[in-house]
Amino acid sequence: MKIQKVKDASILKFTDVVMKEATILDEIKAVKIAGTDKGYDFQLALVAQLCTFDGKKYVMEDLKQLDRADFLELLMALSGLKRKDLEKMSSDSQDTEDSHTKK
Within a domain: 6:
no
Within a domain: 7:
no
Q: What confidence score (pLDDT) does residue 101 get?
A: 52
Within a domain: 50:
yes
Within a domain: 43:
yes
Enumerate residue ranges in the chain where pLDDT < 70.
81-103
Within a domain: 95:
no
Total structural domains in the chain?
A: 1
Within a domain: 100:
no
**By residue range, what is the domain housing residue 83?**
20-89
Q: Burial code of 48-86, b = ≥16 C-beta within 10 A, e = fewer?
A: bbbbebeeeebebeebeebeeebbbebbeebeeeeeeeb
Within a domain: 96:
no
SS3 label, residue 46: helix
Within a domain: 11:
no
Q: What confidence score (pLDDT) does residue 7 get?
A: 84
pLDDT in tens, 24-50: 999 999 999 999 999 999 999 999 999
